[in-house]
Structure 1
Amino acid sequence: MSSIGAQRSPEPRPGLSHPHPQDPPQLMTSAVIVAAGRGTRFGPDRDKLFLEIRGLPVVGHAWRRFDRHSGVDEVVLVVRPGLEQAFEELGRQIGATKPYRLAHGGAERQDSVWNGLEAISPAAQVVLIHDGARPCVAPELITGCIAAARAHGAAVAAQPVTDTIKESCDGATIARHLDRSRLWSVQTPQTFQVPILRRALAEVRRQGARVTDDTAACELIGQPVQLVPSRAPNPKVTLPEDLPLIEAWIDAAEPKPPTARGG
């Protein structure tokens, strides 16, 4: 059975075993995939996370990227109540080989991340927080985020801003120009040494603050966050018109079978 909420499940997933209780705990890397939101731009009856790309739901592509990564030891999926069975079936569809647990989402994203953090293994040293609506995350980016978090405590996938950015106070006229050479667009995974993220989210709760991502929580405790350049496409599914382009990127990233050569 899967863990829900803040309770950790003592049971391993099929095909994998937990270490003997007397063995020293192995330091682990956990991935928390936040999949509890509901996008409204696709209509009230369409959950963007379960829209299919090449026969697999969006969130399934994201999950599979972490399940197949050699540096990730377990996956926690933060889901809406009522979707537990759908995610169990999705785990079978992707052929999940890593241990995984389910946790319920909260009222805000920060609450969902907290619930996911409470569900990871006690042996987890590093945790990646990833948006379930980003199905294209590259293995190299996951590797880079893990390494940066181990070295610096906190890290985030990001791309330098290439467009010219203006600030507007009224939504109608330009107020000032922003120097894009200093601007980065942050993505996920956002990756942390576990004690640092626990302390940051605890401070968010103590202050009653609202943050839109986990790096903002780190600002509250003065924790620097290392930028990890995201060199491959890593878009978030937001609008219906995003799907064809994301499908093309996924096709390009998938290994192609060898073609027969005529004699």
Structure 2
Amino acid sequence: MKTGITAIIVASGSSRRMGFDKLAAILNGKPVLARTVDTFLACPEITEIILVCPEGRFSSLLGGEIFTKPVHRVDGGAERHLSVANGLAAVSPDSQYIAIHDAARPLVSQADILATISAARQNRAASLARRVTETLKRTDEDDFTSEAVPRENLWHIETPQIFETQLIKAAYDHIIANHILVTDETSALQAHGHPTKLIPSTSPNPKITTPADLEALQTGNPALKNTDH
């Protein structure tokens, strides 16, 4: 009987918008990548980790780490969904669920990971997310406001995104066979005709995309002080 939960951590991006390797940036004494990996190593439900990243990044940022669970590295692809596909191909046959997480979200909490796992067990597919609370506007081609966009039932999608193994593999087989470009796994599930349950995040879970994002985390974000991150 399959009982494992595999975490696929996607860390193969080039950080072009940053101008340097954002996963090597130091947060509270550790590289971003190491902090993210440590969080999933500490999660009692996770049984293995597949790290999708270049070998050089792995050896330079994690080469001295002693892992408490199996950690395997695979190369990424030209697009994010191809990197995830490479990770899926390396998953243990004992894996019942797969949690896919962006390495550039180093502050995800144990509580939110566990809540998303629980929802995936009930619904086959679940993703951490947060509701849209800001006022939204649509503009014309010259960036002048043209209309308001109702924010009811709108969400910012985060990670981890957690799926029954058979379901996410079938969804990826579908999008790759049909040359469908997706930017996250909920989109792959949607293209395959399956909805994903969204779980509100209860603590900060930002994705580091720009230098300003990194600076905000490095200058005293209180989540860095929490012991479960």
Looking at structure 2, the residues matched to 169 and 120 of structure 1 have their Cα atoms a distance apart, in angstroms, of 46
Flag the 1:211–1:26 CA change in 2: closer, same or farther, 3 A.
closer
Looking at structure 2, the residues matched to 85 and 62 of structure 1 have their Cα atoms a distance apart, in angstroms, of 16
> Is the contact between residue 166 and residue 175 of structure 1 (CA under 8 Å) also seen in structure 2?
yes
Looking at structure 2, the residues matched to 250 and 244 of structure 1 have their Cα atoms a distance apart, in angstroms, of 14
- Point out which structure has higher relative CO (alpha carbons under 8 A, 6+ apart): 2
Query: TM-score normalised to the size of structure 2?
Result: 0.93
Q: CA-to-partner distance for each residue in 1:131-167, whole Å, 9 max, x for gaps?
A: 0000000001110111111110111100011100112
Looking at structure 1, the residues matched to 58 and 22 of structure 2 have their Cα atoms a distance apart, in angstroms, of 17
Look up the match of 1:251. Answer: 224
Asked if residue 59 in structure 1 is aligned to residue 33 in structure 2, the reply is yes
> Is the contact between residue 136 and residue 246 of structure 1 (CA under 8 Å) also seen in structure 2?
no
Q: For structure 1, which segment, 239-248 or 176-185, has the greater mean C-alpha deviation from structure 2 after superposition?
A: 239-248
Look up the match of 1:35. Answer: 11
Looking at structure 1, the residues matched to 69 and 98 of structure 2 have their Cα atoms a distance apart, in angstroms, of 15
Provide the secondary structure at the position in 2 that maps to 1:181.
Answer: coil
> Is the contact between residue 55 and residue 73 of structure 2 (CA under 8 Å) also seen in structure 1?
no
Mark the runs of 5 or more structure 1 residues left unpaired by the alignment.
1-24, 256-263
Flag the 1:112–1:169 CA change in 2: closer, same or farther, 3 A.
farther
Report how far residue 181 of structure 1 moved.
Answer: 1.8
Report how far residue 26 of structure 1 moved.
Answer: 4.8
Looking at structure 1, the residues matched to 60 and 91 of structure 2 have their Cα atoms a distance apart, in angstroms, of 21
> Is the contact between residue 48 and residue 58 of structure 1 (CA under 8 Å) also seen in structure 2?
yes
- For this pair of structures, how many residues does the alignment match? 226
The 5 A counterparts of 1:23-172 are 26-43=2-19, 46-89=20-63, 92=65, 95-170=66-141, 172=143
Provide the secondary structure at the position in 2 that maps to 1:112.
Answer: helix
Report how far residue 32 of structure 1 moved.
Answer: 0.4
Q: Structure 1 counterpart of 2:52, which letter? A: V
Look up the match of 2:180. Answer: 209
Flag the 1:192–1:209 CA change in 2: closer, same or farther, 3 A.
same
Provide the secondary structure at the position in 1 that maps to 2:13.
Answer: coil
Flag the 1:116–1:184 CA change in 2: closer, same or farther, 3 A.
same
Mark the runs of 5 or more structure 2 residues left unpaired by the alignment.
none
- Of 171, 176, 179, 1:200 maps to 171
Percent identity between matched residues is 35
Looking at structure 2, the residues matched to 251 and 133 of structure 1 have their Cα atoms a distance apart, in angstroms, of 14
Provide the secondary structure at the position in 1 that maps to 2:216.
Answer: helix
Flag the 1:224–1:26 CA change in 2: closer, same or farther, 3 A.
closer
Provide the secondary structure at the position in 2 that maps to 1:241.
Answer: helix
| Cα RMSD, aligned residues only | 1.6
> Is the contact between residue 37 and residue 80 of structure 1 (CA under 8 Å) also seen in structure 2?
no
Report how far residue 41 of structure 1 moved.
Answer: 2.8
Report how far residue 80 of structure 1 moved.
Answer: 2.2
Q: Structure 2 counterpart of 1:65, which letter? A: T
Provide the secondary structure at the position in 1 that maps to 2:145.
Answer: coil
